[in-house]
């Protein structure tokens, strides 16, 4: 059974992590900065060493292609992103790109030829920490965003994506090409695999997300003289809604999640009944119909609470991101790969979005998750075990070879 | 029936309000500032015009005394405070002092002699906005605070009460003297009288208060990848407690009140489950035993919520202020006064503390409340109707004459 070189993969990850390395062992390689350019240059050099044909498209996505034997076959791509959070880790994104490179190196070493071409992709600006929106490169590639729209986005210093691409030398000429399949390996960025002592997460899809801003307006009043029955307590209404969001997320099916992460109280004084609260609501679900039902239940609860607490509530939807279901045949080959290598595995749904979510709109897509320490990501202490990193890459190798057709 | 001069009372309030007047029609007469000195000087001048003997004690409390016919009788005092919040109104405090002055003027005009002396008191630093603690002058007078402790308190610029008293010339020589009774008229600073279209609030006492600081510690985690069942959501725990505080305050008897006025969430980011919340809890009740039972129920709820939400909770009591019950015979004379004048009236409990709360510890005490517009106080737009202001003063006149014994 063909297997990847675990040490080589780990070494590539560690070598890449030296570019933008932080004192605490993390990585600061913000998109389209000098550090990102150096990371890209390193990746391109490794692609060329592996004999891949490199092309760069107009939003700076990089593709390294290993030719197949059938000129008509659409390429099977693997990838993720090389940019990091401002205080990011060594694995988020980098793992998916380095795993793709390791698959190609393994095919080279074993002299395996595939019917379809095999590609390694590095998508521009997945993190969105310098330029919004997040997942910009894959979003443009998948037609979610217009190229011109993306190029015109500016960072806080007024530098546009177009200017930053030109400065790094990664404003390429290539137009998007069709893909036969897309695979992405990624650390879970959550606690489930570690908690259940599972090596491989077979990712069924990604949760849909609906994000809301909520403003609740009651009336300030003195905590002493104001009887309970005449109060218009915005914080009481907000708190009741937090409890309902939690109830909705724990009682609805299909991997429902609900979070109030932000809350601001005014005037925020110990002995004044709060007259105003601003807060957010983040609802997620694997099925769009269930997500819609959660939103409807949220609105019903909010209307009832507002009436009972005598407050005004204004709910604005700020993000809608539909659930994505990955391609069943690719998901099955990931699961079979894990079984074949004897890895413990479980089906899982990605709570966060990844480039794969956009790629799923234009090609059959699947993802492989591996555990990360404490479920922690977007942090310099992000960590993963070398044997899990290798296992995920072996599963990727299996799925890619199956899809691309080994001769 | 003897009645006060409504126009003179109103004019005195408006004249006093010119000292420290703000553009929006309020008053800024922060304790022991130049504005406070001018307000005190005006009050003392009016006392002298009314033939009162003025004395100032070591914490700056001012007493204007009208002699009685019985040298052994303890004085019947009326009063409140002349200092204001930084953006205060014309009536909070000033009304109680000017009403006392008007009672004396009325007795003078009618040539009424009383058995006991009648005094008008102006207590130092009720508001506490420059020097803490609040109600400093009456607190020292009643023996709640040591004089030296109070004199040593400093404002944010490092100026002590002792220095500020010396600068304004109101560091007097007088020691506290015994009082036979104390009456305080005050705007309600709440909505009940206005809401129920009542002219006179017959104040039975003041709510006890127990204030808490609460720190809840859970664990930050990503809103997407973290399943509901493994979260340690500090904001969910905090919100459940807000709901319980409201339940406790609405179901316990004896004028129970409960407020969470302050809440701070960390990291306070839309898609991160909050790991930390700091908040306050303010519980009030007219009966100490019921207040204690409310606190015990709060602690039970908190323990249950902390366990269910898998968070740590640290509850610290920062203020305990026992309920005060006013003297039944004085409360009855306030009620009879309101009836006698044909004013609508209702029994009420003060949700906030007043100088009368400390005076109740050393003398039979009662208060008279009148409505204020929208229940609003501690604000430049604080307002009251001249006829309600006059009505409260008539009731005061009746109660004081009854207590002091008109000849």
CB-nearest partner of B270 from A236, A282, A352: A282
CB atoms A225 and B189 under 8 Å: yes
DSSP A223-271: TTTS-GGG-B-HHHHHHHHHHHHHHHHHHSSSS-EEE---EEEES--TT
Q: Distance, in angstroms, between A373 CA and closest chain B CA?
A: 13
pLDDT at residue A158 in the model: 97
CA-wise closest residue to A367 among A333, A344, A403: A333
CA atoms in the 13 A half-sphere facing the CB of B234: 27
B positions 58-117 inside 8 Å of A (CB): none
User: What is the pLDDT at residue A1?
Assistant: 84
- CB atoms B261 and A273 under 8 Å: yes
Residue of A64, A67, A57, A18 lying closest to A43 (CA atoms): A64
Residue B173, beta-bridge partner list? none
The whole model's pTM is what?
0.88
Q: CA A72 to CA B181: how far, in whole Å?
A: 103
Confidence at residue A238, expressed as pLDDT on a 0 to 100 scale: 98
For the segment A123-149, what is each residue's pLDDT rounded down to a tens digit? 999 999 899 999 999 999 999 999 999
From chain B residues 172-201, the ones with a CB under 8 A of any chain A CB are 188-192, 195
Of A235, A261, A282, the CB nearest to B263: A235
**What percentage of chain A has pLDDT greater than the value 90?**
95
Interface subset of A 129-148, CB within 8 angstroms of B = none
Which domains, ranges and CATH numbers included, belong to chain A? 6-206+323-404 (3.40.630.10), 208-321 (3.30.70.360)
Per-residue pLDDT of chain B in tens (407 residues, 90 and over written 9): 899 999 999 999 999 999 999 999 999 999 999 999 999 999 999 999 999 999 999 999 999 999 999 989 999 999 999 999 999 999 999 999 999 999 999 999 999 999 999 999 999 999 998 999 999 999 999 999 999 999 999 999 999 999 999 999 999 999 999 999 999 999 999 999 999 999 999 999 999 999 999 999 999 988 999 999 999 999 999 999 999 999 999 999 999 999 999 999 999 988 899 999 999 999 999 999 999 999 999 999 999 999 999 999 999 999 899 999 999 999 999 999 999 999 999 999 999 999 999 999 999 999 999 999 998 888 889 999 999 999 999 999 999 999 999 98
Of A222, A228, A264, which has the smallest distance from its Cβ to B249's Cβ? A228
Query: How distant is the Cα of A263 from the closest Cα of chain B, in angstroms?
Result: 7
Q: How many CA atoms lie within 13 A of A210 on its CB side?
A: 23
Query: Does A238 sit within 8 Å of B239, measured CB to CB?
Result: yes
Which neighbouring-strand residues pair with B283? B210, B258
pLDDT of residue A168: 97
Cross-chain Cβ contact A256/B282 below 8 Å: no
Interface mutation target, options B222, B241, B243, B305, chain A, most CBs of A under 10 Å: B222
Chain A residues touching residue B189 (CB < 8 angstroms) = 222, 224-225
Residue of A226, A239, A351 lying closest to B226 (CB–CB): A351
Q: How far is the alpha carbon of A189 from chain B, nearest alpha carbon, in Å?
A: 7
**H or E element that contains B293:** helix B288-309
Partner-chain contact A268 B268, CB within 8 Å: no
In this structure, what is the dihedral angle of CA atoms A310, A316, A319, A324, given to the nearest 10 degrees? 60
Q: A239 to chain B nearest CA, in Å?
A: 4
φ, ψ of residue B232 in degrees (nearest 5): -125, 75
pLDDT digits (tens, 9 = 90+) for A56-104: 999 999 999 999 999 899 999 999 999 999 999 999 999 999 999 999 9
Amino acid A378: pLDDT: 87
Across the interface, whether the CB atoms of A259 and B209 are under 8 A apart is answered no
Residue B216, chain A, CB below 8 Å: the answer is: no
Apex B180 CA angle, B134 and B53, nearest 5: 80
CB contact under 8 A, A271 and B284: no
Supply φ then ψ for residue A112, to 5 degrees. Answer: -80, 130
Cβ–Cβ contact B222 with A under 8 A: yes
Q: How far apart are CA B187 and CA B183, in angstroms?
A: 14
CA distance A205 to A199: 18
Maximum distance among all alpha carbons in chain B?
83
The residue of chain A with its CA nearest to that of B214 is: A270
ipTM of predicted complex: 0.89
Q: Which one of B212, B255, B261 would you mutate to disrupt binding with A, by most A Cβ within 10 Å of its Cβ?
A: B261
Looking at CA atoms only, how far is residue B273 from chain A in angstroms? Answer: 5
List of chain A residues whose C-beta atoms are within 8 Å of the C-beta of residue B309: none
- Is the preceding peptide bond at A267 cis, omega within 30 degrees of 0? yes
Chain B residue whose CA is closest to A223: B259
Question: Which of A192, A224, A257, A260 best probes binding to B when mutated, by most B CB atoms within 10 angstroms?
Answer: A224
**Partner residue facing B270 (CB), from A233, A262, A272:** A262
The mean per-residue pLDDT over the stretch A40-57 comes to 98
Confidence label for A370 from pLDDT (cuts 50, 70 and 90) = very high
CB contact under 8 A, B257 and A221: no
pLDDT attached to residue A304 = 98
Give the distance from residue A253's alpha carbon to the nearest chain B alpha carbon, in angstroms: 12
Q: pLDDT digits over A284-334, tens only?
A: 999 999 999 999 999 999 999 999 999 999 999 998 999 999 999 999 999
B232 touches B185 (CB < 8 A): no
Least CB–CB distance from B351: residue in A189, A190, A226: A226
Q: Which site among B265, B271, B324 would you substitute to test the A interface, given the most A Cβ atoms closer than 10 Å to its Cβ?
A: B271
Closest-approach residue (CA) in chain A for B246: A236
Nearest CA in chain A to B273: A261
Test mutation, B225, B275, B286, B378, chain A, max A CBs within 10 A: B225
A11 inside 8 A of chain B by CB: no
Distance between CA atoms of A1 and A3, rounded to whole angstroms?
6
State the Cα–Cα distance between residues B396 and B147, nearest whole angstrom: 30
- Flag whether residue A207 sits within 8 Å of chain B, measured between CB atoms: yes
């Amino acid at each position: 059974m063909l297997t990847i070189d675990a040490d080589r993969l780990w070494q590539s990850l560690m070598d890449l992590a030296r570019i933008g390395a932080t004192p605490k062992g993390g990585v600061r390689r913000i998109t389209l900065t000098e550090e990102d350019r150096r990371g890209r240059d390193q990746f391109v050099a490794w692609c060329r060493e592996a004999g891949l044909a490199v092309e760069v498209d107009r939003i700076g996505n990089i593709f390294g292609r290993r030719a197949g034997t059938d000129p008509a076959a659409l390429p099977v791509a693997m990838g993720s992103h090389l940019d990091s959070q401002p205080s990011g880790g060594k694995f988020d994104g980098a793992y998916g790109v380095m795993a793709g490179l390791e698959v190609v190196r393994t095919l080279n070493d074993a002299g395996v030829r595939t019917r379809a071409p095999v590609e390694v992709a590095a998508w521009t600006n997945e993190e969105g920490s310098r330029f919004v929106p997040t997942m910009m490169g894959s979003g443009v590639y998948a037609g979610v965003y217009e190229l011109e729209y993306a190029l015109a986005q500016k960072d806080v210093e007024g530098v546009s994506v177009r200017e930053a691409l030109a400065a790094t030398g990664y404003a390429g000429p290539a137009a998007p090409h069709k893909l036969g399949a897309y695979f992405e390996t990624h650390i879970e960025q959550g606690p489930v695999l570690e908690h259940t002592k599972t090596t491989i997460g077979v990712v069924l899809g990604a949760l849909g997300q609906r994000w809301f801003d909520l403003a609740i307006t009651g009336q300030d009043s003195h905590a002493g003289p104001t009887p309970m029955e005449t109060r218009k307590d915005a914080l009481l209404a907000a708190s009741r809604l937090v409890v309902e969001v939690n109830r909705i997320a724990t009682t609805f099916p299909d991997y429902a999640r609900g979070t109030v992460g932000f809350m601001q109280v005014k005037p925020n004084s110990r002995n004044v009944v709060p007259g105003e609260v601003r807060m957010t609501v983040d609802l997620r679900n694997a099925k769009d119909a269930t997500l819609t039902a959660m939103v409807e239940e949220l609105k019903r609860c909010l209307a009832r609470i507002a009436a009972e607490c005598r407050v005004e509530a204004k709910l604005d939807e700020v993000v809608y991101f539909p659930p994505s279901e990955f391609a069943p045949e690719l998901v099955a080959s990931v699961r079979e790969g894990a079984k074949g290598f004897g890895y413990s595995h479980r089906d899982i749904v990605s709570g966060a979005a990844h480039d794969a979510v956009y790629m799923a709109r234009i090609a059959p897509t699947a993802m492989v998750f591996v555990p990360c320490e404490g479920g922690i990501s977007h942090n310099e202490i992000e960590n993963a075990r070398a044997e899990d990193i290798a296992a995920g890459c072996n599963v990727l190798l299996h799925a890619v070879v199956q899809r691309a057709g080994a001769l």
